[in-house]
Amino acid sequence: MNIIDIFETMEYGPAPEAAAPGLAWIKEHQPFGLFINNQWVKPASGKYIDSINPSTAKPLTQVAAANSKDVDAAVAAARKAFETWGKTPGHVRARYMYAIARHIQKHSRLLAVLESLDNGKPIRETRDIDIPLVARHFYYHAGWAQLMEQELPGYVPVGVVGQIIPWNFPLLMLAWKIAPALAMGNTVVLKPARYTSLTALKFAEIIQEVGLPPGVVNILTGEASQVGEALVRHPDVNKIAFTGSTDVGRSIRRATAGSGKKLSLELGGKSPFIVFDDADLDSVVEGVVDAIWFNQGQVCCAGSRLLMQEDIAERLVAKLRVRMEHLRVGDPLDKAVDIGAIVSPGQLKEIQRLVDQGVEEGAEMWQPSWACPAEGYFFPPTLFTNVSPATTIAQVEIFGPVLVAMTFRTPAEAVALANNTRYGLAASVWSENINLALDIAPKIKAGSVWINCTNLFDATSGFGGYRESGFGREGGKEGLYEYVRPAWEANETAVELPIANESTSSNGAKPRSHEEEGGEMEDGTNGYRATLPAIDRTPKMFIGGKQVRPDSGYSRDVYDPQGRVIGQVGEGNRKDLRNAVEAAHAASGWATGTTYNRAQILYYIAENLSAREDEFARRIVQQTGRLYAGASAEVQAAISRLFSYAAWSDKYEGAVHRPPLRGAVLAIPEAIGVIGMACPDEYPLLGFVSLVAPAIAMGNTVVVIPSQQSPSSATDCYQVLETSDLPSGVVNIVTGERDTLSQVLADHDDVDAMWYFGPLEGCKQVELASAGNMKRTWVSYGHTRDWLDTMQGEGEEFLRESTQVKNIWIPYGE
């Protein structure tokens, strides 16, 4: 071939990366052991599983198959190490993490080669994206280890963390999990995916090299049924962090329900890639290549649904086909290859099955004219057009190099199509009109939105999902909270509230009489004998801004501590809750209103509550038998709490991140949507206000089940809410049996989060039921809080639970 021929065809020659260093490393280390307490140990089962090179379909080596005995040993090692590591100063942890980052860079080429051999992804990606990002994560989190004491005062590490990662970004997912865990002082037992364990084992060697104390990081290779499940169920594990499929995420949610384990789940996606007609179509084409053919499309946030404005659809599809024709599929170690191998035969089969189904369902399939290599697990880039939004390929995560294209006419239609999925991981928006792009970004239900770019990641900017894409964030400051808990939890003591019939008060002094305290007399008249019978006040439900009768037509008695009936409230049921959830959804405009307006309304609620302070205090006395002074302090605290969240409403603002690119990332805390909440019994008014106020301050709408024992403090709020300009449906209140009602809310697919403050068994039921739509839960595990204490009863923890962070990436420059 002469130079003229080369210019004629512009064919790439081969540019192979040597496999030899990777293969030599494997040979030197096999048989691989398990990494426990900084030592290589044989698996208790004595068994090993094959590790296959997906680009040749030939075995690379074997890795140890751990079982539950190894899990016990690793957890015990991590527990022991936690005793010291959890108290190691931040600066010392930072030094270790800095060393890990440096060693990753020192071994970067070997890690890149191993990753490509083991996973099948192109060396260009492992060398230029995966491994540099791994180092970046450790550097970034070394910084948080250094700053933890100043930046997260009042927080302590969670303890022993079980981490389970998938095969699509083996070392990067390890870094996303291990770096924040170590930075916050936790110890780790990590299970890599069975297909891709090699870089985790090389990482273990790095841990030895840097001299991390034994037991801080333990790595167990093996199968899900032997290692993953045992780790999830282990009683001495304090948190599970998982990335993988939504189905497994759901089973982990169920398995950990009621255990008190903290949980973060990063699950699947079906992310939209939205192209408006004023977008730069040549950039769009390159964007699509990165969105769906990066890592063979095996990316949880892959832009797998191409949504095109109708008038440019034909042109864009034509350009895409030309580009697809020039993509190169082949040996992952060839530096001129765009698309490598699919991770396993099973995954390849699944992609083929879904593609066949797409054709059967009537969509039009297009693939380039060339053929994939015959050896190994390869699949060509594939484009579906003429796709209807309800079909399987438009809804199901294919996790392969398959793009489904649909059209829209208006921005509103684009948003509707984009959100027409149970997932909510990411989205890309393409338009040369920044006003349009920034108008669309907040309307899309997804954790990351990339404007005129796609698949950008950085440690500064948290990553994670909305809806069935899971909960919790990895990266950014928000990601740190997944690995800490409030320090006060460790010192928790039961809350004891002085009640009026005790002979002495808690400070030993004889309590003032009920009458002296301004409480009611035994006959309920407070010393005033009415000449007329009292006018009956039986509260109804509060739904959609109206007081409505309970659907059941039943009421339930409310008792005082002596067991005397002091009133009735409605017996709420499934239908009342259904109506309340509908009303809460109808009030979704609350989230898009101004924070200034929300603040004003919260102040106004406080003002109206304050006008009836005495009445509310007396009601608390009546329901709880507590002293008037204590009850009055509760009302005061509730008013102050409303002020706090009015204040926070326009101050809990998020951040502007500066990742290493020309641009900025806006990290915006957004409302979650409709939150169901079951209030604690301890403080009937303050508990109610402490939950409702942060939720609505952040733009959520709520369906509240008041304290079952003492619901009247919440029902007395109807008139306060009605006279405070609160839009209808923002707060809905359904009284009744707490656990029955909570179950309905936790099961409800249109409720986005569920908070429950009650007994442990109720917490478990809520967590179990939440797995249906993977709603976020916040439960008390049967513990009580001192709601009067501002450390425990208000602040950032409540604001975090009321929001989910969306990161909007805005690169700039021409």
Which stretch, 88-96, 248-256, 557-565, 648-656, contacts ligand NDP (CB under 6 A)? Answer: 248-256
Nearest CB to ligand NDP, comparing residues 166 and 401: 166
Which stretch, 29-37, 239-247, 526-534, 766-774, contacts ligand NDP (CB under 6 A)? Answer: 239-247
Residue, CB closest to ligand NDP = 228
Q: Which of 17, 125, 229, 266 is catalytic?
A: 266
Q: Of these, 37, 45, 251, 420, which contacts ligand NDP (CB under 6 A)?
A: 251
Nearest CB to ligand NDP, comparing residues 346 and 660: 346
Is 168 a residue that touches ligand NDP (CB under 6 A)? yes
Is 287 a residue that touches ligand NDP (CB under 6 A)? no
Is 474 a residue that touches ligand NDP (CB under 6 A)? no
Q: Of these, 130, 229, 334, 474, which contacts ligand NDP (CB under 6 A)?
A: 229
* Residue 625: both structure tokens together: 């038998």
Contacts of residue 653, Cβ cutoff 8 Å, sequence gap at least 6: 669
The dihedral built from the CA positions of residue 549, 550, 552 and 557, taken in this order, carries a sign that is: negative
Is 170 a residue that touches ligand NDP (CB under 6 A)? no
* Residue 729 CB, nearest approach to ligand NDP (Å): 34
* Residue 564 CB, nearest approach to ligand NDP (Å): 51
Which stretch, 244-252, 441-449, 559-567, 762-770, contacts ligand NDP (CB under 6 A)? Answer: 244-252
* Residue 383 CB, nearest approach to ligand NDP (Å): 19
* Residue 64: both structure tokens together: 């140890």
Nearest CB to ligand NDP, comparing residues 337 and 398: 398
Which stretch, 186-194, 603-611, 613-621, 679-687, contacts ligand NDP (CB under 6 A)? Answer: 186-194
Which stretch, 95-103, 187-195, 676-684, 778-786, contacts ligand NDP (CB under 6 A)? Answer: 187-195
Nearest CB to ligand NDP, comparing residues 445 and 748: 445
Contacts of residue 530, Cβ cutoff 8 Å, sequence gap at least 6: none
Spatial separation of the C-alpha atoms in residues 33 and 37, rounded to whole Å: 12
Nearest CB to ligand NDP, comparing residues 52 and 705: 52
Nearest CB to ligand NDP, comparing residues 278 and 356: 356
For Cα atoms 658, 661, 662, give the angle at the middle one, nearest 5 degrees. Answer: 90
CB count in 10 Å sphere of residue 370: 12
Spatial separation of the C-alpha atoms in residues 799 and 611, rounded to whole Å: 27
* Residue 173 CB, nearest approach to ligand NDP (Å): 8
Is 248 a residue that touches ligand NDP (CB under 6 A)? yes
Is 267 a residue that touches ligand NDP (CB under 6 A)? yes
**Ramachandran bin of 459, using left for φ above 0, alpha for ψ from -120 to 50, beta for the remaining angles:** alpha
Would you mind telling me the total number of residues written for the chain in this entry?
Answer: 814
- Residues in 773-802 at the binding interface with ligand NDP, rule: CB under 6 A: none
Nearest CB to ligand NDP, comparing residues 106 and 349: 349
Nearest CB to ligand NDP, comparing residues 150 and 225: 225
Q: Are strands 239-243 and 262-266 parallel, antiparallel or unpaired?
A: parallel
Q: Which of 300, 301, 372, 717 is catalytic?
A: 300
Q: Of these, 93, 194, 619, 641, which contacts ligand NDP (CB under 6 A)?
A: 194
Q: Are strands 160-164 and 187-191 parallel, antiparallel or unpaired?
A: parallel
**Under a CB-based contact definition with an 8 Å cutoff, are residues 451 and 435 in contact?**
no
Max intra-chain CA distance, the chain: 114
Which stretch, 1-9, 97-105, 238-246, 521-529, contacts ligand NDP (CB under 6 A)? Answer: 238-246
* Residue 242 CB, nearest approach to ligand NDP (Å): 6
- Residues in 106-165 at the binding interface with ligand NDP, rule: CB under 6 A: 164-165
- Binding to ligand NDP by CB under 6 A, coded x per residue (else -) over 383-402, reads --------------x-x---
Nearest CB to ligand NDP, comparing residues 204 and 702: 204
**Under a CB-based contact definition with an 8 Å cutoff, are residues 188 and 178 in contact?**
yes
Contacts of residue 297, Cβ cutoff 8 Å, sequence gap at least 6: 304, 398, 399, 400, 401, 402, 403
Q: Pick from 671, 670, 774, 745: which is nearest to 422 by CA?
A: 774
Give catalytic status of residue 801 as yes or no: no
**Under a CB-based contact definition with an 8 Å cutoff, are residues 149 and 90 in contact?**
yes
Q: Pick from 183, 191, 295, 302: which is nearest to 252 by CA?
A: 191
Which stretch, 136-144, 188-196, 316-324, 778-786, contacts ligand NDP (CB under 6 A)? Answer: 188-196
Is 166 a residue that touches ligand NDP (CB under 6 A)? yes
**Under a CB-based contact definition with an 8 Å cutoff, are residues 445 and 671 in contact?**
no
Is 465 a residue that touches ligand NDP (CB under 6 A)? no
Residues in the interface with ligand NDP (CB under 6 A) total: 26
Q: Of these, 39, 56, 245, 420, which contacts ligand NDP (CB under 6 A)?
A: 245
The dihedral built from the CA positions of residue 489, 492, 494 and 496, taken in this order, carries a sign that is: negative
Is 223 a residue that touches ligand NDP (CB under 6 A)? yes
CB count in 10 Å sphere of residue 229: 18
**Under a CB-based contact definition with an 8 Å cutoff, are residues 252 and 176 in contact?**
no
Query: Residue 502: which H helix or E strand, with range?
Result: none
Spatial separation of the C-alpha atoms in residues 542 and 144, rounded to whole Å: 45
Q: Note if the bond before 31 is cis, omega within 30 degrees.
A: yes
**Under a CB-based contact definition with an 8 Å cutoff, are residues 306 and 288 in contact?**
yes
* Residue 551 CB, nearest approach to ligand NDP (Å): 40
Q: Of these, 157, 244, 297, 758, which contacts ligand NDP (CB under 6 A)?
A: 244
Is 440 a residue that touches ligand NDP (CB under 6 A)? no
* Residue 435 CB, nearest approach to ligand NDP (Å): 33
**Under a CB-based contact definition with an 8 Å cutoff, are residues 234 and 64 in contact?**
no
- Residues in 566-605 at the binding interface with ligand NDP, rule: CB under 6 A: none
Spatial separation of the C-alpha atoms in residues 675 and 655, rounded to whole Å: 24
- Binding to ligand NDP by CB under 6 A, coded x per residue (else -) over 314-353, reads ---------------------------------x--x---
644 secondary structure, DSSP code: H
Can you list the alpha helix ranges (DSSP code H) found in 698-804?
712-715, 717-722, 738-747, 760-770, 790-793, 796-801
CB count in 10 Å sphere of residue 230: 24
Nearest CB to ligand NDP, comparing residues 397 and 474: 397
DSSP letter for each residue of 393-449 = HHHS---SSEEEEEEESSHHHHHHHHT-SS--SEEEEE-S-HHHHHHHGGGS--SEE
Spatial separation of the C-alpha atoms in residues 423 and 466, rounded to whole Å: 7
Can you list the alpha helix ranges (DSSP code H) found in 49-197?
68-85, 90-106, 108-119, 123-125, 131-151, 170-183
Q: Of these, 119, 243, 623, 724, which contacts ligand NDP (CB under 6 A)?
A: 243
* Residue 228 CB, nearest approach to ligand NDP (Å): 2
Q: Of these, 93, 177, 191, 262, which contacts ligand NDP (CB under 6 A)?
A: 191
Strand partners, 61: 51
* Residue 344 CB, nearest approach to ligand NDP (Å): 8
Is 224 a residue that touches ligand NDP (CB under 6 A)? yes
- Binding to ligand NDP by CB under 6 A, coded x per residue (else -) over 398-427, reads -x----------------------------
Q: What are the angstrom distances between the C-alpha of 512 and each of 508, 516, 697?
A: 12, 6, 38
Nearest CB to ligand NDP, comparing residues 194 and 445: 194
Give catalytic status of residue 375 as yes or no: no
Nearest CB to ligand NDP, comparing residues 407 and 461: 461
* Beta strand extents in 192-285 (DSSP E only): 217-219, 239-243, 262-266, 272-275
Q: Catalytic residues, which ones? A: 266, 300
Residue ranges binding ligand NDP (CB under 6 A): 164-168, 191, 193-194, 223-224, 228-229, 232, 243-245, 248, 251-252, 267-268, 300, 347, 350, 397, 399
